[in-house]
Amino acid sequence: MTTSITKKQFIINTAADLFQERGYSATSIRDLAAKVGLEPSSIYSHIRSKEDLLSEICMSCADRFSKGMNDIYFQDISPRKKMRALIQLHLDIAFDIPASVTVFNDEWRFLHEPVLSDFLEARKEYEKKIKKILTDGKKVGKFEFQNIDIVFSIIIKMLSWSHSAIKKFNKEALEAELTSFITKH
């Protein structure tokens, strides 16, 4: 049983690497099977479909972001400190599971119902919390901006920086520049 779960996770992680490298659509089950050392049909002993792999990657990533956000959001600290913690959260996850984060960011659109709705709902919840932190910060005069939706989108874009860019830099330097961009603002 334990072995089975581990192998399934190994297949999912390998799928994340391939989806990141070639994209979900351009990756075949045969590619995946070759990389994990199985015959193509044997993959289906561990998963039900190709899309299942994408669902697992996207939803586990979404869960991790949601949990991390809640830990920050409900703390009694300033909006500025929350934004800093949020930057760290994104960097921690991106450095830990870079392939999954890239797939989560770029390939989620290939999800179908009912998983798609779950995904979009989780994301919307996450976005609402970021926006709340930003508007709270503006109220107490710590952030300056005019259009919350635009600033939110810019920040999300900076935070969802893909693996390929992130792996070239050192985490502390990245954190310093991002913090400067986001919280000096």
Residues near a second copy (CB under 8 A): 23, 25-26, 106, 109-110, 144-147, 149-151, 153-154, 157-158, 161, 165, 168-169, 173-174, 176-178, 180-181, 184-185
180 binds DNA (CB under 7 A): no
Q: What secondary structure letter does DSSP report for 117?
A: H
Which entry of DNA, a second copy, none binds 178, CB below 5 to 8 A by partner kind?
Answer: a second copy
Question: Would you count residue 31 as binding DNA (CB under 7 A)?
Answer: yes
Count of other CB atoms within 10 angstroms of residue 103: 26
Q: CB of 83 within 8 A of CB of 136?
A: no
120: partner contacted, choices a second copy, DNA, none (Cβ within 5-8 A by kind): none
Residue from the set 41, 146, 147, 170 that interacts with DNA by CB under 7 A: 41
| Closest C-alpha to 103, from 168, 42, 174, 55 | 55
Q: Is 42 in the site for DNA (CB under 7 A)?
A: yes
Spatial neighbors of 142 by CB under 8 A, at least 6 apart, are 78, 79, 80
The Cα 47–Cα 103 span in angstroms is 18
103 in Cβ contact with 164 (< 8 Å)? no
Q: How far apart are the first and last CA of the chain?
A: 51
Which listed option, a second copy, DNA, none, makes contact with residue 5 (CB within 5 to 8 Å by class)?
Answer: none
Residue 31: contacted member of DNA, a second copy, none (CB under 5 to 8 Å, by partner type)? DNA
Q: Is 113 in the site for DNA (CB under 7 A)?
A: no
Q: Cβ 132 to a second copy, closest distance in Å?
A: 19
Which of 50, 82, 90, 163: binder of DNA (CB under 7 A)?
Answer: 50
Helices and strands, counts by H and E, the chain: 9, 0
DSSP state of 169: S
- Minimum separation from the CB atom of position 149 to a second copy (A): 7
Binding site for DNA (CB under 7 A): 7, 27-31, 38-42, 44-46, 48-51
